[in-house]
Every structure is written in structure tokens, then in C-alpha cells.
Amino acid sequence: MPLVSDEERALFEQVLEAPDDLQPRLVLADALLERDELYGLFIQLSCSSAEVRTAREARRRLTALRRATVPAFLGALGGALTSNQRRVSFADGLLDSCALAVTDAARFAACEGDPLWGTVRALELPKASDRRVYDAIAFAGRNASWRWLDRVRVGAPYHVRALCLAPSFPVQTLRVEFCWPEDVERLARPEHFPRLRRLELDVVPINGEHGTAQVASIMRRPLELLQISGVQLTAPIWIPLVEGGAVQTLRLLYEGFAIETSPSAGDFRWRLRRLSPRGRKGAARALLRRVDPYFVRDVEFVETSVRKESSHHGKRRPHGL
């Protein structure tokens, strides 16, 4: 069962105040075991050394403890999570990342404000075309228990718009799988998600000058990282995107390669990196063609392999490209 006493709730608050310290978790585990709550044993074993935790017998015991204790300990909160256990993970005995379920609003109401949400660092919002998805998004936006939340993943553009109805949502890293230019422009407004530091966009279809201007508006927001995958954007678009931008790092991804620059520092030199051993030279050429030649005259090529990483400086283009 969840935290049942003022003492346990106070101990859990100490855990929330020290996210990188295992000692408060172990103190909480002892308190749980005093009332024969075996979830305390799950915390203890999860916090043990890597050598102990990864041993075959320990892994089996951890799996058994999770199955036996987690549902009861999470209580009503568990009813708001997806049934796909691969999308729910724990770190050092506490809920670390999860995906919300497509379920009735009553289940979200039953666990709203639960302090156990406080340890969640990564949250995935549902993608289904079901009206109940909006119940999940509305809950995420109004739940006041997020304490460690850093990363949120959302699917469709209308889900982004729904999330924007809760502008103070404490997300720091937002990944959007599909986003129209007008939604990018919406995310560029500083009143939406004041803690936002990193924005990752998987697909942004652009048609015409108006769409270009809408996407370019995000560059005025002081982000640590703006990452765009797929890179459907053509060369002329990058001039207004890069010049005068407040983004610290602009990163473009394309078929196993990444190319990035630092607009806020006025440094328009690009760094090209192979992200996967499957990355092919043709993909690198295609990525470079998508960036205006004015900005790719000086490219630093960073070769990343499975075994080691090496840098080749002073080359205008990667060798052999």
C-alpha cells in the first residue's frame, strides 16, 4: 500500500529533496519494512551496488519483487499508467519514467496530487486518437506533484495544443513527434512552459514563406537545444533560422548523421557527426545540401564509432564526401 503515515510522507519528502542521494531512499525502505511492506526490500535491492544488482539471482529477485509489490504500493497511481511494462521503469527503487494510459478521467482524479509522481523524470503522453487522451493530457498539465520531471514526449499536434492549455507545465525537455509550423510558433512563446530548455521536433512539414517564418520564430526563444529530425527543410530556410538566433545549439538529424551549430554565440561553423555505424556518405551529402552553402564552408567532422570517437579538424568537408 502507498505511504500511510506522516512519518513515511516526511521521509519521502526527504527523498524528493535529494534526488541524487541514495541514503534517504534507504531510510524510507527501512521504515516500510518496519510495517512489513516488502516494497522496502525492492528499494534496498535496487539501491545496491551494480555488481550485486546485475547478478543473475539478484535480477530474478528484483523482477519478482517488482511484480509482487509495485502494483499495491503505487495504488491508484498505477491505474493511470499504461499496461505496457516496457514503458514503465524504476530507478533505485522509485518510479522514474512512465507512459500515461488512455483511460477514464476518474482514474486520473483518484491519483492527482499523489506524492509518488514526484520522482518521475520522463513522461510519455498517449498518442491514440481517442477523446480520453485529452483527459490524460489535462491531468499531466494540472498535476502539481511533478518534482523531478524533465522530459516529456507527445505525439500529434493537437496534443501539443492541449498541453499548451497548461502553460506552467514544468517540462524542461519536450519531444514532439509531429508538429505543424503554427504549433512551433506557439511553442516559441515564452509564456508557454517557462522551464523549457530543450525542444526536439521529429517532423515539421513546411510549405511557403509563412511556414518558414513560423518555424524561424522558435529561434528567438533562449533554448539550450533545438533538435529537428528528418530535415525536410531546404537550404534557403536556414538563413533566417540561424542568423540572430537565441538558441545555444541547433542540431539537425538525418539518417544516422547530425549536424549542429551555435547561433546564440554567433558561431556558424557546423559540426557533422556520424551517430550510427549505419550512417552512409550519401546521407551526409544530403544533409549538407539541406543547409545553405554559406554556412557549411567550414565543417568539423567528428567520426563516432562503436569503439572510439576521433576528431578531424580543419576540413571543410568530411573526408571522402
Does residue 6 register a pLDDT over 90? Answer: yes
Total domains, the chain: 1
- Note whether residue 160 is domain-resident: no
- Note whether residue 281 is domain-resident: yes
- Note whether residue 72 is domain-resident: no
- Note whether residue 204 is domain-resident: no
Q: Is the pLDDT higher at 270 or at 249?
A: 249
Q: How far is CA 8 from CA 3, 26, 132, 238, in A?
A: 6, 12, 34, 54
What is the tens place of the pLDDT at every residue in 118-170? 999 999 998 877 788 999 999 999 999 999 999 999 988 888 888 988 878 99
Residue 83's region, left for phi above 0, alpha for psi from -120 to 50, else beta, is: alpha
- Note whether residue 231 is domain-resident: no
Cα separation, 47 vs 88, in Å, equals: 18
How much is the CA Rg of the chain, to the nearest whole Å? 23
Q: What does 61-83 look like in DSSP terms, one character per residue?
A: HHHHHHHHHHHHHHGGGGGGB-S
Is the distance from CB of 38 to CB of 30 less than 8 angstroms? no
- Note whether residue 294 is domain-resident: yes
What is the tens place of the pLDDT at every residue in 20-49? 999 999 999 999 999 999 999 999 999 987
Look up the domain containing 267 and give its range: 252-321
| Mean of pLDDT over the chain | 83
- Note whether residue 313 is domain-resident: yes
- Note whether residue 238 is domain-resident: no
CA 89 to chain centre: 14
What is the tens place of the pLDDT at every residue in 208-258? 677 777 887 888 899 999 998 876 555 455 655 666 678 888 888 888 888
